[in-house]
Structure 1
Amino acid sequence: MHALTKQLSEYMLEKYQLTNYILHESYYDRHKLNDQTVYSFETFWIPSGTSIIEEEDGMMLPKGTVQITIDPVTKRTTTLSLHGPTYLHSVPDDLRDPTTRIAWLESETDMIHGTHFMLEEENDTFFSYVSCHEGIRLSSGCFIHLTLTENGQLDELFLYGPHALDHRVNQEPFTLTLEDIDSLAKQQIKWFSYTKPGHQYAHTVVETIVTQEGSSLVPSKLDFTSSIEVNDVLSWTGLPSKMHERYPYQSGETVTANDVITQTEHPDFRPIQQETMNACRIVIKDIIQSEYPADSGQWMIRHIYRQHPYLAVTLSRAHPTSYVEQHRRVTIFLDEKTLHWISLTDDQELHTVFDSVSAPELEDEQQDIIFNALRPYLLLTPRYVFAASKGQYVLCGLLDSNHAYLPATNEVVLLRNL
């Protein structure tokens, strides 16, 4: 056992007093969070005297198994899952009382309620919290999901995302108003179809992030760290240069304790070299030509990005003439080392259901009518949004609405009622 693995295991053993447990399995993993590589140490502890039951479709953990995941650098717990009734040191027997629940979450997460995290959703046995900075939500931020049993005992605590104390926030007063973004808000009116007798479509204002300067902001696609925008139309004559067979999926490289110690960067952060992109384009052209032989000039490579151990390539129709073609996407996975073809996914069927619905043509006067009807129901909420170019969270406004306008009846209704 590596010295770091031993140290972290002993830390969990002491923190939760797992004296009647045996460490059955442990391994390291790594993730991309904002612009950083974050590691985790995942463990499964089984009660002494029990054993794993091997089955055809996998293994069954014995009752009382405890799953614990921690950040190996900060030692903060990110997963605490109990498989059956289990008593753990430092975990209250009943978490239904709000005061008890919040106090335990604060001690377990090293965050302060109302300052670093706030409630988003709750029912009798499930509580969802999101990270915030002084009461203002962060995107993307940390999610905390707490599940209880019917008698209030812990079932699972799960945290995902950048920890609130690690946030880099550019704090400033929120001065943006709806009047400042009237013109932009009107541009965000979009139609959507829904099924209800006598109706075909409705209008609403789509959720939009707006900077304090009054411009719309598309939050960074944090998973596409190495993404390259290509926008290259594929055309061909004759036969493909090579016929490609599909290869099976493969697992990624094993993450080791040494990777944690040296803080090795996630492979997806490595830039894609020009020669790799050129070779990738040739393979993609061959695959598209063999799969859609009559579609020369109809497909465009949009993005190439890493999703270790693969290169992912997204394509769309170059000259869309319908709803389906406009939104249709094809995603192809290639082995990042050999460029072997792994998979192709075409979401055409997902959008076909909407093909018979035509987008309404709106005159300026109709646009004004719809916007004026929806304007009293517009919401502008402060939101810190991570800006990858700045490496920190900046204060923006979240433009949204819970209502929709029905042109058939000139009504404004709640979206949840449609």
Structure 2
Amino acid sequence: MDTRVQELVDFTRNKWGLDNYYLHTYHFYRKLNALNETIYTLSMEWYPSHITDQEDEDYNPDGTAAIDLNIQNRQFESVIFVGGETFSNRSLIQSNKIDEIIKFIENETGLIHGKQFHLDREKENEYFFRSRINGVAVAPSGILDIKFNTEGKLTYFSTHGPFPSVDKVTEETFSLTLEDVEHIAKDQLVLIKFPLRKQKKLIPVYCLEEIYVTNDISKTLPFIYQGLVYTIDEKIEWQTTNKKSFKRKHLNLIEDLTADQAFSFEPHPNLTPISDNEKEKCIRSVRDFLSQVYPSDSGKWLLKTLHRDNGFIQGKLGLLEQDISITQRKLMLLIDPNKFKVLNYMDNKDFLEIHEKFQEIEGLSFDSEDAYKRIKSTIELKPVYVYDFEQKNYILCGRIDSDYGINGINGEVLELNDYL
């Protein structure tokens, strides 16, 4: 075993009291976090010493310790004892009292309670924390989850997403009111077809698309974080169809990293820009693919975006003419970044066919103005520190959102969570 790996394995064994375990498997992987930072992780599976035979290779036996360690900052991303059973001979938390849990989190992560994270909710033997800056929510949000078994032993620890420090934030006083942003809120109201699965019906519903607006109302930030996603928005047309039959290529989307790669900490290849020349080649490959697999669909598809994904270039497409619905027809293509040929694809048509037999309820009685008047009282405007990729800093925004929708036929206020 590489000496650098051995050092991390020994560190993990001592940290979590794994003297009654042996290292079964390990591998490295890398990912981009929500801020487009490259994270290298050592993923390990530790088996209890008494487990010598494994009946099912697809399942880990109870008591297995599945542990992910960030090798750059040596912090544990997750520690999970399978089946809520642990044979660890060390307890890092003296009790499952909230004060002890907070002390443990601060010791393990370096975060400061009340300034960077807070208790979001709890249930029996489980505690959920979220990132906050001095009590104000952040987006994207960091989540931390801790569970104990019935014996009071820690069996689950997982942290995901950013927990920014105060020095990464441009602090200011939140001053927005709903009246200040009402013109923006009105523009966020959209009419979509909403499937009622139990009744097998489609009804038109006015919903508010979530959005962030800066404290000075100078700009808005989307709810979806784009990263290195390139907007293309090109209609794909052709005159001649491709007569060749398309054969899907079996693709391995899991990287097999060596220790040298992992400890080099090089930027993730997904951060490599897609040049204008590469974009044009991708567009041609998409056109060739569509003319081959969907020969009658010239002019019907829009290539929306391109981005790198695990050694491939991924293209996302949508139909140009389709009703605004909570579920829309989409294509996802995987393109060879060297030969610029589509290798595989996913079409959600089969999934959407579930809704094709739904009865569509017609007779829209409310326009957007009427719908806004009805939904206005449910709209929430809350302060949130949002990461701005241009400034590379968190800036104070107001989040405009509503958990409700307006039935476009009878004006009924619907709680959307009841229908999702």
Give the TM-score taking structure 1 as reference length.
Answer: 0.86
Q: Which residue of 2 aligns with 1:69?
A: 68
Q: What code does the residue aligned with 2:211 have?
A: T
Compute the displacement of 1:52 (Å).
4.7
Q: Which residue of 2 aligns with 1:395?
A: 396
Compute the displacement of 1:312 (Å).
0.6
Distance in structure 1 (CA, Å) of the matches to 2:326 and 2:115:
45
Deviations 1:198-255 (Å, cap 9, x if unpaired)?
9944434332222223343214535x52x22222222222332865422111244422
Compute the displacement of 1:267 (Å).
0.7
Q: Does 1:205 align with 2:208?
A: yes
Deviations 1:148-168 (Å, cap 9, x if unpaired)?
334443231111223434982
Q: Which residue of 1 aligns with 2:112?
A: 112
Q: Which residue of 1 aligns with 2:383?
A: 382
C-alpha distance 254-229 of structure 1, shift in aligned 2 (>3 A): same
Q: Which residue of 2 aligns with 1:51?
A: 52
Please report the RMSD computed on the Cα atoms of aligned residues, expressed in angstroms: 3.1
Unaligned runs of 5+ in 1: none
Alignment identity in percent?
Answer: 21
Q: Is this contact kept in 1: 2:381–2:401, CA < 8 A?
A: yes
Q: Does 1:265 align with 2:267?
A: yes
Q: Is this contact kept in 1: 2:364–2:408, CA < 8 A?
A: no
SS in 2 for 1:327: coil
Distance in structure 2 (CA, Å) of the matches to 1:104 and 1:87:
17
Which moved further from structure 2: 3-12 or 13-22? 13-22
Q: What code does the residue aligned with 2:250 have?
A: P
Q: Is this contact kept in 1: 2:383–2:397, CA < 8 A?
A: yes
Q: Is this contact kept in 2: 1:70–1:79, CA < 8 A?
A: yes
Q: Is this contact kept in 1: 2:117–2:163, CA < 8 A?
A: no
Compute the displacement of 1:334 (Å).
2.1
Q: Is this contact kept in 2: 1:302–1:313, CA < 8 A?
A: yes
Distance in structure 2 (CA, Å) of the matches to 1:278 and 1:350:
31
Q: Is this contact kept in 2: 1:94–1:151, CA < 8 A?
A: no
C-alpha distance 203-230 of structure 1, shift in aligned 2 (>3 A): closer
Deviations 1:104-139 (Å, cap 9, x if unpaired)?
233233222322122334322433322121121221
Q: Which residue of 2 aligns with 1:235?
A: 237
Candidates 292, 295, 298, aligned match of 2:294: 292
Candidates 269, 277, 280, aligned match of 1:278: 280
Length, aligned pairs only: 410
C-alpha distance 101-73 of structure 1, shift in aligned 2 (>3 A): same
Q: Which residue of 2 aligns with 1:31?
A: 31
Q: Is this contact kept in 2: 1:377–1:402, CA < 8 A?
A: yes
Q: Is this contact kept in 2: 1:234–1:296, CA < 8 A?
A: yes
Q: Is this contact kept in 2: 1:194–1:202, CA < 8 A?
A: no
SS in 2 for 1:53: coil
Q: Is this contact kept in 1: 2:240–2:291, CA < 8 A?
A: no
Taking the TM superposition and a 5 Å limit, the aligned residue runs for 1:324-339 are 327-339=328-340
Q: Which residue of 1 aligns with 2:7?
A: 7
Which moved further from structure 2: 124-133 or 172-181? 124-133
Which moved further from structure 2: 277-286 or 324-333? 324-333
Taking the TM superposition and a 5 Å limit, the aligned residue runs for 1:173-192 are 173-192=173-192
Q: What code does the residue aligned with 1:78 have?
A: E
Q: What code does the residue aligned with 2:222 have?
A: V
Deviations 1:303-325 (Å, cap 9, x if unpaired)?
1211012111112223x153479
Deviations 1:371-395 (Å, cap 9, x if unpaired)?
2333232211111111111212211
Give the TM-score taking structure 2 as reference length.
Answer: 0.86
Distance in structure 2 (CA, Å) of the matches to 1:91 and 1:11:
14
Taking the TM superposition and a 5 Å limit, the aligned residue runs for 1:82-231 are 82-83=81-82, 84-92=85-93, 94-95=95-96, 97-165=97-165, 168-192=168-192, 193=194, 195=196, 200-214=203-217, 215-219=219-223, 221-222=225-226, 224-225=227-228, 227-231=229-233
Distance in structure 1 (CA, Å) of the matches to 2:65 and 2:290:
47
Unaligned runs of 5+ in 2: none
